[in-house]
Amino acid sequence: MNPVSTQSQTRDLEGKVAVITGGTKGIGRASARKLAARGANVVVNYFRSRSAADETVAELRQYGVEALAVRGNIGNKDFHEKLFDQVAQAFGHVDILISNAALGLFANIMDVDQRAWDLSLHTNAEALLFCAQKAVPIMPPGGKIVALSSLGANRYIPGYAAIGISKAAIETLTRYLAFELAPKSINVNTVSGGFVDTDALKSFPNYEDMLREVVKRTPFGRVGNSDEIADVVVFLCTDAARWITGQIVVVDGGYSLT
């Protein structure tokens, strides 16, 4: 996707520094692009594809900002210090943390084994906690932390047991972080996305059946897209959201109303 002209963008995040885990595809990449368009320097974390990271960095730099890709497994606690050490060396501080990276194995609850449990909890929930602990010491007042959750945190989705539980942990962490970081003037919120047309959705074992059911139950008659989730993520990173904290913002096109 070609960047839109920065002349038409509100540069209200000029000079801010944003870190996005899982920032080279899907909602993460869409959020990175929108932050860069508003003037933020962006650090994207990735794990597998160097080419996707290079493409993302090149795209972001076209907005006239600094961009950096840092490779590492966000589910590995030892990596968190390395990530924020690199951020501190490159920029000196971080204003925005978006905990977006997600991973998990599909299984019903009685089939969840240690590997499925650890993979989901480490990559999804623990990453938010430990990244926040590393980010906050170099985050000035007015900082923003935004995590990504899903509807599986509070409703049953077949085969989503370990992932849904990890998302529920994210939502609880959001409230605890928000309360304890408020004295530092740091806002913490989570965006709970509905069914979004990404590779993650396509990885569901019953993707076609799920897609038909989602379209049928959603008032708008379709699934969402990455940009529609990223728009809300980025709004929560702006000063306009300064009085919002500890909230789980559901962005699902009305799916959860039925």
Nearest alpha-carbon partner for 106 in 98, 97, 115, 95: 115
- Cα 249–Cα 148–Cα 150 angle in degrees, nearest 5: 75
Model confidence at 148: pLDDT above 50: yes
Q: What is the pLDDT of residues 71-110, one digit of tens each?
A: 999 999 999 999 999 999 999 999 999 999 998 899 999 9
CB 25 within 8 A of CB 45: no
Give just the sign of the alpha carbon dihedral 255, 172, 188, 196.
negative
Domains of the chain, start order: 12-251 (3.40.50.720)
Q: What is the pLDDT of residues 38-64, one digit of tens each?
A: 999 999 999 988 999 999 999 999 999
Model confidence at 136: pLDDT above 70: yes
Instruction: Look up residue 151 and give its two tokens.
Output: 């509807």
Nearest alpha-carbon partner for 143 in 239, 79, 251: 239
Q: Which residues are catalytic?
A: 160, 167
DSSP string, 96-147: EEEE-------B-GGG--HHHHHHHIIIIIIHHHHHHHHHGGG--TT-EEEE
Instruction: Look up residue 208 and give its two tokens.
Output: 């076609």
Nearest alpha-carbon partner for 52 in 190, 194, 199: 199
Instruction: State the pLDDT at residue 169.
Output: 98
Nearest alpha-carbon partner for 14 in 64, 88, 60: 64
**What gap in Å lies between CA 127 and CA 121, rounded to an integer?**
8
Q: What is the pLDDT of residues 191-249, one digit of tens each?
A: 999 988 777 667 777 778 888 888 999 999 999 999 999 999 999 999 999 999 999 99
